[in-house]
């Protein structure tokens, strides 16, 4: 999701995937992608040989970002707070 | 020549979130030494547990505290929930103010693929499905100390008590 966080967190093994927030394993009812992602993540666990291993999985989300739904129906409290502060 | 695929951390985030979150992430690692537990057995003989940060709780259990976050926007509920191995979207509550939880209610497998894990167990690719799986709520504001010092050790202890070999955490 945001593998850049690895610089702060330091996870032992990372299977990075370019899927949107809320749906790391794929779209609803997309059984084929869901099981492929799960299988790929388990394979990373088995293949990693040293701490901090990051593998970039080759999955491609089938919708462009501007058409991909993930945002909550209303902005989160922290986003509302940031927006309020920006407006002064 | 083929170029190695590199995941773009910000592809779906949008400019605003990229600026806000990206500014908090250093370009070089700043983390403590990474703990390492070698895999003790192949996945096909391992007991596997899943974790999600989607704020999932079993119906009847205490849901994650959204009202507290609304009152204190820089705070996120740092507690955890145990989930049944046969949990379905109809049997859980999902509370997370930073994503569209309807996407997960439509099919729990998009964030917690218990059906898919059972299928891998049935096909012999996974040794067994753990009796319990786990959820936290991913937004932790500016204080991750409870999550790190209390929640994570408690989840690890619960997994150990159920002889889990391998845990897979998927942030949402």
Q: Å from B53 to nearest chain A CA?
A: 9
A15, A78, A82: best mutation site toward chain B, by most B Cβ within 10 Å? A78
pLDDT digits (tens, 9 = 90+) for A11-61: 999 999 999 999 999 999 999 999 999 999 999 999 999 999 999 999 999
The answer to whether B122 contacts chain A (CB < 8 Å) is no
The low-confidence residues of chain B, meaning pLDDT below 70, are 1-3
State the complex-level ipTM: 0.95
Instruction: Inform me whether the pLDDT recorded for A1 exceeds 80.
Output: no
Selection from B111, B148, B70, B4 nearest residue A70 by Cα? B111
The answer to whether A17 contacts chain B (CB < 8 Å) is yes
Q: How confident is the model at residue A87 (pLDDT cuts 50, 70, 90)?
A: confident
What pLDDT score does A59 carry?
97
A35 chain-B contacts, CB cut-off 8 A: 113, 116, 119-120
pLDDT digits (tens, 9 = 90+) for B25-48: 999 999 999 999 999 899 999 999
Which of B30, B97, B103 is opposite residue A22, by nearest beta carbon?
Answer: B103
Find, in chain A, the residue whose alpha carbon is nearest to that of B72: A77
User: What does the domain layout of chain A look like in residue ranges?
Assistant: 3-63+70-87
pTM value is 0.95
Q: How many Å apart are CA B86 and CA A73, to the nearest integer? A: 29
Q: What is the DSSP letter of B151?
A: I
What pLDDT score does B1 carry?
47
Q: How many Å apart are CA A56 and CA A44, to the nearest integer? A: 10
The answer to whether B5 contacts chain A (CB < 8 Å) is yes
Whether the CA torsion B78, B106, B13, B97 is positive or negative: it is negative
- The overall average pLDDT reported for chain A is 95
User: What does the domain layout of chain B look like in residue ranges?
Assistant: 42-170
Q: Which residues contact B12 (CB under 8 A, 6 or more apart)?
A: A18, A19, A20, A21, A61, A65, A68, A70
**pLDDT, average across residues A70-87:** 93
């Amino acid at each position: 999701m945001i593998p850049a966080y690895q610089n702060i967190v330091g996870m032992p093994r990372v299977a990075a995937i370019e899927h949107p927030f809320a749906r790391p394993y794929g779209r609803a009812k997309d059984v084929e992608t869901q099981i492929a992602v799960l299988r790929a993540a388990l394979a990373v666990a088995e293949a990693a040989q040293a701490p901090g291993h990051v593998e970039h999985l080759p999955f491609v989300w089938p919708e462009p970002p501007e058409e991909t739904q993930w945002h909550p129906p209303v902005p989160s409290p922290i986003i509302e707070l940031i927006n309020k502060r920006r407006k002064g | 020549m083929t170029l190695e695929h590199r995941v773009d951390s910000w592809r779906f985030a949008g400019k605003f979130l990229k600026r806000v979150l990206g500014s908090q992430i250093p370009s070089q690692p700043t983390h403590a030494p990474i703990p390492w537990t070698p895999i003790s057995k192949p996945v096909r003989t391992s007991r596997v547990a899943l974790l999600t940060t989607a704020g999932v709780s079993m119906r009847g259990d205490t849901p994650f505290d959204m009202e507290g976050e609304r009152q204190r926007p820089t705070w996120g509920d740092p507690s955890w929930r145990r989930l049944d191995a046969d949990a379905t979207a109809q049997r859980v509550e999902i509370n997370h103010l930073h994503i569209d939880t309807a996407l997960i209610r439509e099919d729990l497998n998009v964030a917690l693929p218990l059906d898919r894990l059972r299928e891998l167990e049935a096909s012999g690719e996974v040794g067994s499905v753990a009796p319990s799986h786990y959820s936290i709520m991913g937004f932790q504001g500016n204080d991750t100390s409870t999550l790190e010092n209390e929640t994570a050790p408690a989840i690890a202890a619960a997994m150990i008590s159920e002889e889990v070999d391998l845990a897979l955490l998927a942030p949402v």
